[in-house]
Amino acid sequence: MNDRWYEIARLDHFWIARRFEVLRGLADGLIRQAGAIAEVGCGQGLLQRQMEDFYQVEVTGFDLNAAALERTASRVSPVCCYDLLEQASEYAGRFDLMLLFDVLEHIHDEARFLRALEFHLAPGGRILINVPAFQWLWSRYDQAVGHQRRYTAHSLRQVAQRNGLVIARSSYWGLPLVPLLVLRKLWLARHSHQSPVSAGFSCPNQFVDRTLLWLSRCERIPQRLLGTSLMAVLERAD
């Protein structure tokens, strides 16, 4: 992830707040039932902190960005500078739920990565994943933050099936924000001098931020029509 993104993202950013609301709507029961939980690609710990505050649980955080880990927002959850591909024996089959939020789209070799992730998953464990949706929304912003691709429910299902996984439930989200991403795509295409990350993710003031949060809530979850992101629960195929 681009370092500028870490500087902009914060707990009260409308997109971070809305993403957590969608998580609760889609997987509240799974989270409450899970024992050990981990987040892969935890960055500066925003999702960990949200989980701590709302669910009163610890979420082990893994990331390779040591600088992001040093400024983690997590208060009680452990963070580890750890490469999932190492498959350390101490983590084998340890986690009932693994959070993979806005990570898979950065990975070139999806199959190898998902196999490594499954190594850490307990029997009956599940993966809760969030990815950007629809390739036609691709812009300079995606390129700047290191995305390899955007997904649809169909393409994510194909990735899951190729790796022995199935989608147990899913939802697009961010439907009210689709016009804004189209405008972002056009704006960044015409203003090559603009920083894609700053122009594409930051909010100029709190009023705009709160307005976008209100707007983003104008959809029901789950929904399978359209969105800027896709969230899904993956589990091993029988």
**Residues with Cβ within 8 Å of residue 116, at least 6 apart in sequence:** 84, 85, 87
pLDDT in tens, 151-175: 999 999 999 999 999 999 999 999 9
**pTM of the entire predicted model:** 0.95
User: Cα separation of 21 and 19, whole Å?
Assistant: 5
CA distances from 39 to 29, 79, 183, 195 (A): 17, 9, 32, 29
**The pLDDT value given to residue 1:** 60
Lowest-confidence segment of 65-69, 118-122, 181-185, 216-220 by average pLDDT = 65-69
Amino acid identity of 11?
L
pLDDT in tens, 107-148: 999 999 999 999 999 999 999 999 999 999 999 999 999 999
- What is the maximal distance between C-alpha atoms in the chain? 51
Neighbours of 97 (CB within 10 A): 23
pLDDT in tens, 184-206: 999 999 887 778 888 778 888 89
Which residue has 């189209």 as its token pair? 182
Which residue has 């902190």 as its token pair? 49
Percent of the chain surpassing pLDDT 70:
98
Q: Is the pLDDT of residue 238 over 80?
A: no
Closest CA to 170 of 222, 208, 132: 222
Task: Decide: 97 and 30 in contact? Cβ < 8 Å.
Answer: yes
